[in-house]
Amino acid sequence: MFTLLVALLIFSVVNYFISKASWRVGSIINALIGSYLIFQVFTIPKGTEVTIGKFLGETLALQWTNAGFYFSFVSLLVIVAVMFFAIKWLDSQKHPAAFNMFILMVTAGSLGVFMAKDLITLYIFWEIAVLSSMLIIPMGKKESRKAAVVYAVMSAVGTYMFLYGAFMIYSRYGTFSMPEIAKNLANDPSTSFKVAVVLLIAAAGIAKSGIFPLHTWLRIAHGNAPDAFSAVLSGQLVKLGSYVLMISVAVFPSLKIFANLKLYSGVPAPNYFLIALGAASIIIGTLMAIKQDDMKMLIAYSSVANGGYILVGIGTMDPLGFEGGVLHVFNHALAAAVIFMAFASVVYRTHTKKISELGGLIHKMPITYIAYLFAIISLAGIPPMSGFISKWMIYQALVRKGMFITAAIAFFGSIGSFLYVFRPLAGVFLGQLPRKYKDVKEVPPIMWIPMLVLVAISFVMGVWPFPILQPIENMRADFGIAPSFKIADAQNWLVRGFSGSWNPVIVFNLFITGFIVAYILYTLFPKPKKVDLLKPHKEEGAPINIYTSGEFIYTPELYHYNTKFYAGFERMYEKHPSWEKLLYMLAKFFHDVGEWIHGWFFRPSPSAYTFWLAMTILIIFWVRW
Amino acid sequence: MVFWISAILIGIGVYGLLTQKNLFKQLISLSIIDTAVNIFIIAVGYVDNGKAPIYSKAVPKFMEGAFVDPLPQALVLTAIVIGVGVLALGASLLVKVKEKHSSIDVENMKGVGE
Amino acid sequence: MTAVYKAILNLVIAFFFVISLEGIARKITARIQRRIGPPWYQNFIDIFKALSKHPFSNGWIFDFGVLMALGGAIATAAIIPMGSTFWTPFPNTDNFFVIMYLFAVGSLGMAMGMVGSGSPWSAIGVSRALTQMLGYELPYLVVMSSVMYMYKTSSIHLLIEKQATNGWNLYVMPIGAIVAFISLIGMLGKKPFDIAVAPAEIASGPMAELSGKYMGLLQIMHAFSIFVEVGLFVDLFLGGGSLGWFLVKFIVVWVLATLISSVLPRFRIEQMLKFYWGVPLGLAFLNALFVLLGWTF
Amino acid sequence: MKERTMWEQIADSLRSRSLWMLHYCTGCGAMELPPTMTARFDMERFGVAPMATPRQADIMLITGYLNTKTLRRVIYTYEQMADPKYVIGFGSCTINGGIYFDSYSTINRLDYYIPVDVYIAGCMPRPEAILEAFNYLMEKIRKGEADGWKRYKENYEWYKQNQIRSLGEVYVHDEFHE
Amino acid sequence: MMVLLIVLPLIFAFLAAIKKSFSYPLLVTSTVVNVIIVLLLKTSVPSVHVLGGWKPPFGINLVLDDASYYAVLIANIVFFLVALFKETVGKYSTVLMVMLAAVNGFVLTGDLFNSFVFLEILTATGVILASKRENYYNAFKYLVLGSLAGSMYLLATIFTYTQVGSLNMAHASYFAISEKAIVVITILYLVGLGVEAKLFPLNGWVSGVYGGNDLSPLVMATAVSFAALYMMGRLFLTVFGGYALHILYVLALITIVAGELAALYQKNLLKTLAYSSIAQAGIVLAAISKSTEKMVSLAYFHLTNDVIAKFVLFLVATFLVYNYKNLNGVFKKHKVLGTAFTISSMSLIGFPLFAGFQSKLRMLMEMFKTSDYLFPAVLLFATVIELTYLVRWNVKLWFEDIEDESEVKGPALRATISIILAILLVGIFLAPNIILNPTTKVAKALLDSTSYINNVIASSMGGM
């Protein structure tokens, strides 16, 4: 495993030079390597352990666990799809060679994180992933430079809190190895220490997966990163955060650790705190996503909300909730990746990501549209896509636990997700095609095939979820969360909740039946006359042929509703307090302190220097005597 | 007594550095501090009624307390040299400062913003 | 196989029963307004007339949207238990959340197809409809969670069975039932909450471009939706009952909703949201609190 | 008249029982519609209901006079209605221009431009007359005689010619419409 | 032989003063010879050289132990590297030679007053270097602060003399000093050395001097800084046996925060780096003040990494600043320099794969072992801020759209040296022991004052 990672890292540099010669070759090689890696993750036997080396007397090691397998697999699905996508997409980019290098580094870093057995290895690979992704982000448009900095800082805040926590653990138990830490924590009498440590470890996940206090980087980073890379950011890198959150509540068995700290219906207080943060992210992500005009930022906020779902699910430590949260990782990864790739396709053709400048692209890019449509069905959690299964599990868990407020927030986020995913659907793909895009074409197959493949996977897993549920069940058994309780019942085709179940196959069949019945009805009755919505584009002087109150309209984009889509609702919270502004104020505060220090101590004349020298002497004497 | 003088001189120097707007006056203040330190050093080596540390008729052989300590005097010589060097360096710099910033008054200097 | 027959019966009842009820509702409204009103079968005529016309299609997504809407509604209507375990077509799949989300397929299909027609009126209407969904679903789902929490199951036929021993939820948790009923009116898109269609302002909103059979199919879909929505309320709060009783309760709920809606004017969209997130949501949480504390009848 | 199939007969009888009306109100005639709709006369008992969009409407009720500006809209809207569709000319303005007959811009005969199935004479016609017209139209539909929409298709060239002669061209392009 | 390290550059400097045109070749020669001498001296560690036959404590002695050897090695290599850049050195060859002598003397000397003299020479030459590119006012500020600090240093030395009766460090270390006196002495030394060691709030000169021209940061931020921080360890650990370290600790923590915040505010690349080097000095000082063998060793390990990284950063930054008006996207034209810059800054932040990671992480671990929770918190906070501005600069230099269209020919030597040093940083990550082993010896030498005294005393016992 370690050789694999090192080979990836080294090859990423080699690939830079290959890509310098011909970036297309480089990207094809990347895609092939990625495909090979997917194959590879299935072949590594579970429980394999590899020692990397020693660091300050502590052994660093990799371990292949069920959780690592699951997360690696999901990550690789997303990354490989993007790699294939990039083969063509990269010709719109300025730095293809560097992109090829860094995306391979991201892969290596992420896999390393999922394979890590101890916190320091995790940290090292984590930073590799952060560093390389941080260097891809500024390849985008103007705003992306700032985005990279914000991303780096937020990530660093979380990471260093993680590091602090890791060292606190080390100073107490003398080990970094996660299984041992789990054992030690379970027997530790000091509650405050355990709470502090778990929350500090979770901080990295909070920052990375965009949970409430540290969520603001998602908007700017996902919104401005190179378009296809946003798919990796949202679909994969954010999941590193979910992984760490899972470590902090599940690998360190919070139910055992905080057995005396159960707050409400068996949920320990620190978990409850995390759940509260997750709930806050759901609210913020949903509300902010609803009002975005920039489609990438919209989905960025949706990633905040979905990160919240994952955290809420995992945080309950209920078998259903945990499994739902972990499954939501898969669903959101695929959905977000497809959505961002679809947007990348749109931007690739139209060069804008403002919803208010787009419209009617379904006439020109139907395949992209289909991919987007199924992705949002999954994201909104509507059967028969797999997104529903995870949401269902999370709801079941919340209802069973009687966590009504959290449940209400989750419902709010879920219904809100209809609103925000529909906004790009209506604004970008449906409606009237602006005249300037009349010569836009569908993207080439190498770009849409990856999207459709991901969508197909999500669809199949929605109808027959047991292959993806099985690894999660294994994972749950590893963590000892009610291992006797079986959720996925493949024999009876059932997904079981608490005394209530459902059969995804029946639901799918019903849906298909309904569709067929509807289609039969449809064909029975008179054939429709086609209204050509593109007539004004084709024929000079033809008005659009839809209901216009008898008015003649020749400019289709005037008759397209995509600005302030939910104006009535947005108006209700337009004067909301902005956390982002608050964080900027904090940054400004540090900046001002810097200015103050600079102005008082560093800039002035010799007199001031003398003054400070004298003051130092005097103060020290005063303190000493 | 001499200690006090040197302390007062240091005070004067520091006061000058703190209050003077003219860079050359600051340099002079610096020089005053230097001198004060030198006086202090000399004072440290002084022994009441001590003679110059040379074997002479008065003090033909080494006697405790008869000589003033010769080492501080040696040190002071070096320190003075260094002080002069610094003073010269500072003064030459000030010439250049005057050329570049058209003044050696802190408040009137041009182009030293930031 | 019986499951299939039961599902077909569901659909047949949904079709004939609900469309008649819609006609009756028109009649009731007319009587309240001191009119004679159309005959009770007027809606059948309307639907078949619409189906017989020569429609316009605004592109394939328009067709697909309508099909998806109807398909989703049919699928959902097929799952709904009609008052008892016996009349539950799929006892393993009648999970509340499954129904709610399967139901959303229809809404999404409709929204997509209608916006796909290219008319801004439709888009505005859909935006309102979705916002409205945000309004009524929240208190409804909270109440439903407390019901499910109380009986420790989310399977609807089990909830009906539990009510048979425990008494109707209408009595057990009256506050919850009231909130659910208020939400039901919003769900049905009846009068105070029909801003989404508002014919006078936005040319009947989402339906602005629907002609002929599209309109007809959508009316059928609407009928199935009503069956699902009212059926769920009857199952969960009025204790279901045998098939006959189920239909009687269905009529009662429907008539009550019609009576209320026919005397009320229309809410603006943010008024609607403020209304739902005010008292009903508060009551829903209160109900949840009562359930937690065990203060149920 | 062609023999209708059974399905067409059923469809026609259904159509006659469910007339959705798009009313084009330019003038004073609109005043007569509220009483027609509300409790006093209640047109809904005949299955007639107002509709907001031409796509769903069966009848186009043109209340009042038309001029060259509004006729374009009427034609445009009429063409957006789904077949079968019927036109009722309401009031003498649609028949001969009414009291504005000699204006330079008034349209005197509506049926030159779109086929009218029923005219209601009078200035103003009372709600009773309107209901009578509906009933008459229903009867015509039931018999399969209300075939204005077919005539429009068959004589499309002729109608277009008339339209262009009076209007120049049906679709206008000027600074207000871009 | 070790006296040659001081004498040779001085002689060469005099020669250069006589014949100006030879000055640059003389500089190169002297640095090369010095490096060779240092390498040859490896075998004679530890040893004490007694000047002019005056045995300690009466005469001046030069002490070459593990600590001073390492400092001399670094300093001379830095001077050698700087001497390679003919254009940058310009007319300042002579000054550099004097400075080299001063640095070597400052590090090697075993005599307090002698160290004062070298410190003053160091300041004076530093001022001259700082005045390059008409940076007179900043140089003057440095002069005032430097000589003021020199006076404090001198005062402290004299106080020591009154207490110990000798100026020899070994003696000062050997004899107990009265409680009252040692407070005064250590505080005056703290202030005196603090200026050179960039201790807050005595470090006002740094930005002006480092940010003023293209030569002074290269030397001052690396060699001189290293020498000063070495002296800090020597005085406070060896000579005064760990006295006043808590004051140093507090001041160092403030230095870290203040330096980073000022750097965050700063818009000028060179000054940003200058403030960053203040913060790094703070980290080193804080680590020194823990006075355990591991921490001190890590302090110098970190300092070494910082010196390498800063050397590369300043090497690249000075080139950019003085060749382009607008720095946006400038690395697109100089990819190698850019890579070196990025690697060095990442190392400074402490990303894995680079040397800074090793030192920072080890330091954190060590701090936690001694259950000091404040320093790690400050260190991590500082790292976040450091990361902010360094990433900001990297992004700006790599990715912003180019505004200054002028094309300066890529400097091959600069690129080679910077990339080699950058690769060295990666190498240090992979094999940290190449630095850690020597720094562990440094720490041992600094902390073990008994053997230091024994060394010096032994030299006085034996004959010449």
Q: How far apart are CA B4 and CA B7, in angstroms?
A: 5
Q: How far apart are CA E227 and CA E104, in angstroms?
A: 8
- The two tokens of residue A282 are 């759901």
Closest Cα in chain C, distance from residue A532 (Å): 7
Q: How far apart are CA C76 and CA D119, in angstroms?
A: 48
Which B residues 60-89 touch E at CB under 8 Å? 71-72, 75, 78-79, 82-83, 85-86, 89
Q: What is the mean pLDDT of residues B9-34?
A: 89
CB contact under 8 A, B112 and E137: yes
Q: pLDDT tens across C84-120, in order?
A: 788 888 887 888 888 888 888 888 888 888 888 888 8
| Same-domain check for residues A120 and A210 | yes
Q: pLDDT tens across E9-38, in order?
A: 889 888 888 888 888 888 899 999 999 998
D38, D52, D56: residue with CB nearest C211: D56
Q: pLDDT tens across E138-193, in order?
A: 888 889 888 888 988 998 888 888 888 788 888 888 887 788 888 888 888 888 88
Closest CA to A389 of A399, A378, A400, A398: A378
Q: pLDDT tens across B64-90, in order?
A: 666 777 788 888 888 899 889 989 999
CB contact under 8 A, A156 and E384: yes
Q: Which residues of E touch B3 (CB under 8 A)?
A: none
C36, C200, C209: residue with CB nearest D55: C209
Q: How far apart are CA A42 and CA A40, in angstroms?
A: 5
CB contact under 8 A, D55 and C45: no
User: Does A547 map to a domain?
Assistant: no
Q: What is the pLDDT of residue A103?
A: 87
Task: Tell me the ipTM for this assembly.
Answer: 0.85
A395, A416, A511: residue with CB nearest C105: A511
Strand A529-530 with C56-57, pairing:
parallel
Domain positions in chain E are 1-243+448-464, 246-430
How many CB atoms are closer than 10 A to CB A32? 13
Q: Which amino acid is at B41?
A: I
Q: pLDDT tens across D124-156, in order?
A: 888 888 888 888 988 888 888 888 888 888 888
CB burial readout E99-131, b (16+ within 10 A) else e: bbbbbbbbbbbbbbbbbbbbbbbbbbbbbbbbb
Residue keyed to tokens 């925000």: A420
Contact: chain D with chain C (3+ CB pairs below 8 Å): yes
Q: What is the mean pLDDT of residues A353-370?
A: 86
| Same-domain check for residues A346 and A235 | yes
Is 50 exceeded by the pLDDT of residue E464?
no
Q: How far apart are CA D175 and CA B17, in angstroms?
A: 78
Is 60 exceeded by the pLDDT of residue B114?
no
Backbone phi and psi for residue E42, each to the nearest 5 degrees, phi listed first: -50, -40
Q: What is the pLDDT of residue A625?
A: 63
Chain D, nearest residue to C58 by Cα: D55
Is 50 exceeded by the pLDDT of residue A407?
yes
Is 70 exceeded by the pLDDT of residue D174?
no
Burial (CB count <10 Å: 0-12, 13-18, 19+), residue D3: exposed
Q: pLDDT tens across A132-158, in order?
A: 888 888 887 888 888 888 888 888 888
Question: The domain B7-101 is classified under which CATH number: 1.10.287, 3.30.310, 1.10.150, 1.10.3110?
Answer: 1.10.287
Which of C64, C94, C149 best probes binding to A when mutated, by most A CB atoms within 10 angstroms?
Answer: C149
Residue keyed to tokens 């094309």: E407
Inter-residue contact A379 to A328 (CB < 8 Å): no
Residue keyed to tokens 């501090």: B33
Chain A, nearest residue to D79 by Cα: A545
Q: What is the pLDDT of residue E311?
A: 92
Residue D89 bridge partners (DSSP): D62, D119
Q: How far apart are CA E140 and CA A606, in angstroms?
A: 8
Q: What is the pLDDT of residue A431?
A: 82
Q: Which residues of A touch E144 (CB under 8 A)?
A: 606, 609-610
Which of D8, D18, D58 best probes binding to C when mutated, by most C CB atoms within 10 angstroms?
Answer: D18
Q: Which of A511, A543, A560 is the last residue of a domain?
A: A511
Domain that holds residue A19: 2-511
Q: What is the pLDDT of residue B62?
A: 67
Closest Cα in chain B, distance from residue E361 (Å): 36
Which A residues 366-395 touch C at CB under 8 Å? 369, 373, 377, 380-383, 388, 391-392, 395
User: Does C70 contact A at CB distance below 8 Å?
Assistant: yes
| Same-domain check for residues A502 and A618 | no
Contacts of C249 (CB under 8 A, 6+ apart): C83, C234, C238, C241
Of A494 and A334, which is predicted with more confidence? Answer: A334
Q: What is the pLDDT of residue A607?
A: 83
CB contact under 8 A, E140 and B93: yes
Residue A488 bridge partners (DSSP): A495
Q: pLDDT tens across E405-441, in order?
A: 787 777 888 889 999 999 999 998 888 888 888 899 8
Give helix then strand counts, H and E, for chain E: 21, 2
Q: What is the pLDDT of residue D1?
A: 54
CB contact under 8 A, A167 and E376: yes
Could you give the C-alpha distances from E260 to A247, A594, C66, E10, in angstroms and in order?
A: 32, 8, 61, 37
Burial (CB count <10 Å: 0-12, 13-18, 19+), residue E430: exposed
A384: preceding bond cis by omega (within 30 degrees): yes
Q: pLDDT tens across E230-283, in order?
A: 998 888 888 887 788 888 888 899 999 999 888 888 888 888 999 999 999 999
Inter-residue contact D117 to D146 (CB < 8 Å): yes
Q: What is the mean pLDDT of residues A189-196?
A: 86
Residue D96's H or E segment, with its range, is: helix D92-96
DSSP-derived secondary structure letter, E402: P
Is 80 exceeded by the pLDDT of residue E459?
no
Burial (CB count <10 Å: 0-12, 13-18, 19+), residue E406: exposed
Q: How far apart are CA A33 and CA A7, in angstroms?
A: 11
User: Does C9 contact A at CB distance below 8 Å?
Assistant: no
Q: pLDDT tens across A495-513, in order?
A: 887 767 788 888 888 888 8
Q: How far apart are CA A158 and CA E450, in angstroms?
A: 45
User: Does E150 contact B at CB distance below 8 Å?
Assistant: yes
User: Does B19 contact A at CB distance below 8 Å?
Assistant: yes
DSSP for E118-155 reads HHHHHHHHHHHHHTGGG-HHHHHHHHHHHHHHHHHHHH
How many residue contacts between A and D have a Cβ separation below 8 Å? 30
Q: pLDDT tens across D110-132, in order?
A: 888 888 888 888 888 888 888 88
Q: pLDDT tens across A22-33, in order?
A: 888 888 888 888
Mean pLDDT computed over every residue of chain C: 86
Q: How far apart are CA C156 and CA E295, in angstroms?
A: 67
Q: Which of A468, A494, A511 is the last residue of a domain?
A: A511
Q: What is the pLDDT of residue B88?
A: 92
Contacts of C210 (CB under 8 A, 6+ apart): C66, C114, C117, C218, D55, D56
Q: What is the pLDDT of residue B65?
A: 67
Q: pLDDT tens across A523-570, in order?
A: 888 888 888 888 888 877 778 888 887 778 888 888 888 888 888 888
User: Does A571 map to a domain?
Assistant: no
DSSP for A141-209 reads STTHHHHHHHHHHHHHHHHHHHHHHHHHHHHHHS--BHHHHHHHHHT---HHHHHHHHHHHHHHHHHHT
CB contact under 8 A, B44 and E143: no
Domain positions in chain D are 6-177
Mean pLDDT computed over every residue of chain E: 87
Phi-psi category of residue A486: left, alpha or beta, with phi > 0 → left and psi -120 to 50 → alpha? beta
Q: What is the pLDDT of residue B113?
A: 62
Chains contacting chain D through 3 or more C-beta pairs under 8 A:
A, C
Q: Which amino acid is at D102?
A: D
Contact: chain B with chain C (3+ CB pairs below 8 Å): no
Q: pLDDT tens across C229-238, in order?
A: 898 888 888 8
Architecture of domain D6-177: 3-Layer(aba) Sandwich (3.40)
Q: How far apart are CA E299 and CA E304, in angstroms?
A: 9
Give D84's pLDDT tier (boundaries 50, 70, 90).
confident
Q: What is the mean pLDDT of residues C203-214?
A: 82
Could you give the C-alpha distances from D20 to B49, C169, D44, D53, D79, in angstroms and in order?
A: 130, 42, 10, 10, 16
Domain positions in chain B are 7-101
Alpha helix segments (H runs only) across E291-407: 293-321, 335-349, 355-369, 374-399
Q: How far apart are CA C161 and CA A564, in angstroms?
A: 47
Q: Which residues of A touch C68 (CB under 8 A)?
A: 515, 518
Q: Distance of alpha carbon E372 from its chain centroid, rounded?
A: 26
User: Does A148 contact E at CB distance below 8 Å?
Assistant: yes
- Rg of chain D (C-alpha set): 16
Q: What is the mean pLDDT of residues A245-263?
A: 82
Contact: chain A with chain B (3+ CB pairs below 8 Å): yes
Is 80 exceeded by the pLDDT of residue B20?
yes
A153, A590, A612: residue with CB nearest E261: A590
Q: What is the pLDDT of residue E304?
A: 92
Q: What is the mean pLDDT of residues E200-205?
A: 84
pLDDT > 70: percent of chain C:
100
Closest Cα in chain E, distance from residue A186 (Å): 21
User: Does A559 contact C at CB distance below 8 Å?
Assistant: yes
| Same-domain check for residues A489 and A583 | no
| Same-domain check for residues A137 and A223 | yes
Q: How far apart are CA A510 and CA A505, in angstroms?
A: 8
Is 80 exceeded by the pLDDT of residue C203?
no
CB contact under 8 A, A610 and B19: no
Closest Cα in chain D, distance from residue A424 (Å): 26
Q: What is the mean pLDDT of residues A49-57?
A: 80
- The two tokens of residue A447 are 């770009």
Q: pLDDT tens across C237-287, in order?
A: 888 778 888 888 889 999 999 998 888 888 888 888 888 888 888 998 888
Q: What is the pLDDT of residue E181?
A: 84
Mean pLDDT computed over every residue of chain A: 85
B14, B20, B114: residue with CB nearest A614: B14
Q: Which residues of A touch D55 (CB under 8 A)?
A: 547
User: Does A315 map to a domain?
Assistant: yes
Inter-residue contact C141 to A396 (CB < 8 Å): no
